[in-house]
Amino acid sequence: MWRSLINYANGFGHVLLRYPALLGATLRRPDPQELSSSVLLAALGAAADRIAYAQDQGADPGIGSHHLAKGWGGSYPETTGYLVPTLLQAADRLERPDLEQRALRAAEWLLNVQRPDGGWQGGRIGEDRPSIVFNTAQVIRGMLAAHTRSGDARFAEAAQRAGDWILSVQESDGTWRKHNFLGAARVYDTYVDAPLLALQALTGDERYPAAVVRHLAWVLSRQQANGWFADADNTIRHNDRPITHTIAYTIDGLLECGVALGDQRVIDAGRRPADALLRIFREHGRLNGRYDREWAGSEHPLTTGCAQLAIVWYRLHRITGEPAYAEGAHRLVAWLIAVQETAKAGPVDVRGMLPGSVPFWGRYENFAFPNWATKYFMDALMLSNDTLR
């Protein structure tokens, strides 16, 4: 408790002293504007500029995050990994070859920090943590995207070695515990399953979908009738009310796997919580940061979770053709763009990025601008532009 209070006191003191304009901009309610291709591409360009800037701040080609009081943190292999496909897509949308070069530089760096067991470490460079299943799977996404773009076999080989390690540490019930964050089974490892299916598409190795099907069976056993999932949070203390970030991981993984496997039951399992959150958003015009088993919300909105849910709703719009999904996603993206605008009042380090929470002193990633929030924001912007066409 005292540590948290000291952290907040330091954070607010730093902001009041150095960035009072950012505090004022945050206190004003974001004013979303009507979406258009020009608005979306401008927001995408600003976000891409800041990820490029972030890459230049570290001692390596990986990507870190910015804390208003502490500055830039070390590169994060997990989030750098899934930023690679985002940067490659943005390079095409914005006609910016520099973003492609940056993505491939980041991928090359990830090759160099892959562990001998085939995995990638948890946490940030310098923390010397062991290989973690979830983090490794997200780097696989980057390796596969880099291989597709460059044709360099080293990326495919690294991805396959990582996938084989993930298979080797899977538990008998289909979960991952010992070699995962917290040492606990979590339903958001559906976001591990999807890259494994992508590996099967590349290699033809049927062990990958077999492992995925085993894990999905466990995940579906953790779902309530109202769509809520148990064991969906990335903490032990708050597992009874998970954050939208990990709820959205779970849903996105289910939708991606359900489509790849042609399994309507898996798609429906993802659709139920997506529908519950869409109803809440349409009724209240906002989303909380956490939701309990009755879908009662608490804490401030998480920008990462909101961007991910917009992505989920765009996916469901593609799958079902139902306009309500696109309408909800558009509203959420417009709000996120308005939040991005407030960062213009902050230091150059964060202009174009999103804070962890709204307001930025919320519980999740307080006083920080995590690179993964901007990554999912960029993904949502590109899907939004596709849907508007």
Query: CA 78, 108, 51 angle in degrees (round to 5)?
Result: 55
Instruction: State the number of CA atoms in the 13 A half-sphere of 113 facing the CB.
Output: 30
Rg (C-alpha) for the chain, rounded Å, is 20
Q: Place 1 in a pLDDT band, splitting at 50, 70 and 90.
A: low
Position 3 confidence tier, pLDDT thresholds 50, 70, 90: low
Instruction: Check residue 389 and give its pLDDT.
Output: 77
pLDDT band at 11 (very low <50, low <70, confident <90, very high): confident
| Predicted pLDDT of residue 4 | 72
Q: What is the pTM of this model?
A: 0.97
> What is d(CA 278, CA 346) in angstroms, rounded to the nearest whole number?
31
pLDDT digits (tens, 9 = 90+) for 190-245: 999 999 999 999 999 999 999 999 999 999 999 999 999 999 999 999 999 999 99
Note the pLDDT tens digit of each residue in 330-366: 999 999 999 999 999 999 999 999 999 999 999 999 9
Three-class SS state of 70: coil
Query: pLDDT tens for residues 28-49?
Result: 877 898 999 999 999 999 999 9
What length is written for the chain?
Answer: 389
Tens of pLDDT, residue by residue over 51-110, are 999 999 999 999 999 999 999 999 999 999 999 999 999 999 999 999 999 999 999 999
Q: Are 117 and 166 in contact (CB under 8 A)?
A: no
pLDDT for 289 equals: 98
Find, among 365, 387, 379, 372, the residue nearest to 67 by Cα: 365
Residue 368 has phi, psi (to 5 degrees) of -125, 160
pLDDT in tens, 153-198: 999 999 999 999 999 999 999 999 999 998 999 999 999 999 999 9
Q: What is the pLDDT of residue 183?
A: 93
